[in-house]
């Protein structure tokens, strides 16, 4: 293959990759900007970050973590007030419920959030999904797409696919959380 053909092939591959990323139902510029606003609201409400309110750690399961801590409340993001569910995902060597209770930051791997955003995605009960690293930076999938927005909508795996199986038809496991 000559250099011109090879560069054309690489360019076409990059273009297709960019088109695939922009066609994804999540991870675009609007979703990432909204996720940043959501993190700020969660921080102001002491639901994430240093000095956050904790709940009792409990044994978790894949994909979230070996130990979890789940809390819910209500926050206002860009003028929209709605319920929010925050799941802190803990793991690592030596992780136990007691270890997380005593030193949560030592084991925190990710923070997954569901925020009910009126009119956002009626097909999926208007949930805005996001996965953050402990710092508040967005986590990404293996292709580098930020995990914010309608995460994995229409796919066989991911937030929406898993939560579609939640009893009660509201995408929430633990029905006493959001009424």
What would the pLDDT profile of 77-106 be if each residue is shown by its tens digit?
A: 999 999 999 999 999 999 999 999 999 999
- Would you say residue 63 lies in a domain? yes
- What is the CA 76 to chain-centroid distance, rounded? 18
Distance CA 177, CA 179 (A): 7
Beta bridge partners of 107: none
- Would you say residue 19 lies in a domain? no
Whether the CA torsion 101, 104, 106, 111 is positive or negative: it is positive
- Would you say residue 16 lies in a domain? no
pLDDT of 61 = 80
- Would you say residue 115 lies in a domain? yes
Domain ranges, residue 144: 27-163
Distance CA 120, CA 50 (A): 30
pLDDT of 67 = 94
- Would you say residue 168 lies in a domain? no
**pTM of the full structure:** 0.81
Residue 93: CB partners within 8 Å, gap ≥ 6? Answer: none
pLDDT of 14 = 36
When divided into structural domains, the chain yields a total of 1
Distance CA 2, CA 12 (A): 16
Of the candidates 141, 138, 168, which has an alpha carbon nearest to the alpha carbon of residue 157? Answer: 141
Average predicted confidence (pLDDT) for the chain: 83
β-pairing verdict for 127-132 and 148-149: antiparallel
Of the candidates 53, 87, 49, 57, which has an alpha carbon nearest to the alpha carbon of residue 177? Answer: 87
Q: Is 37 helix (H, G, I), strand (E, B) or coil?
A: helix
**End-to-end Cα spacing for the chain:** 62
Distance CA 126, CA 72 (A): 16
Whether the CB-CB separation of 84 and 95 falls below 8 Å is answered with no
- Would you say residue 123 lies in a domain? yes
Tokens of 44: 């102001």
User: pLDDT tens digits for 17-36?
Assistant: 444 444 677 888 999 999 99
- Would you say residue 97 lies in a domain? yes
- Would you say residue 22 lies in a domain? no
H or E stretch including 77?
A: strand 67-77
Distance CA 62, CA 89 (A): 10
């Amino acid at each position: 293959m000559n250099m011109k053909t090879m560069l054309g092939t690489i360019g076409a591959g990059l273009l297709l990759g960019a088109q695939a990323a922009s066609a994804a139902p999540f991870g675009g510029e609007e979703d990432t900007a909204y996720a940043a606003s959501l993190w700020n609201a969660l921080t102001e409400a002491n639901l994430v970050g240093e000095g956050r309110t904790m709940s009792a750690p409990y044994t978790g399961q894949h994909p979230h973590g070996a130990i979890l801590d789940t809390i819910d409340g209500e926050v206002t993001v860009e003028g929209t007030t709605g319920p929010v569910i925050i799941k802190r995902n803990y793991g690592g060597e030596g992780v136990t419920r007691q270890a997380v209770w005593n030193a949560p930051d030592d084991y925190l791997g990710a923070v997954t959030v569901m925020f009910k955003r009126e009119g956002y995605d009626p097909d999926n009960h208007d949930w805005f999904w996001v996965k953050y690293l402990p710092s508040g930076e967005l986590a990404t999938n293996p292709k580098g797409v930020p995990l914010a927005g309608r995460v994995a909508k229409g796919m066989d795996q991911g937030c929406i696919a898993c939560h579609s199986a939640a009893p009660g038809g509201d995408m929430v496991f633990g029905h006493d959380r959001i009424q």
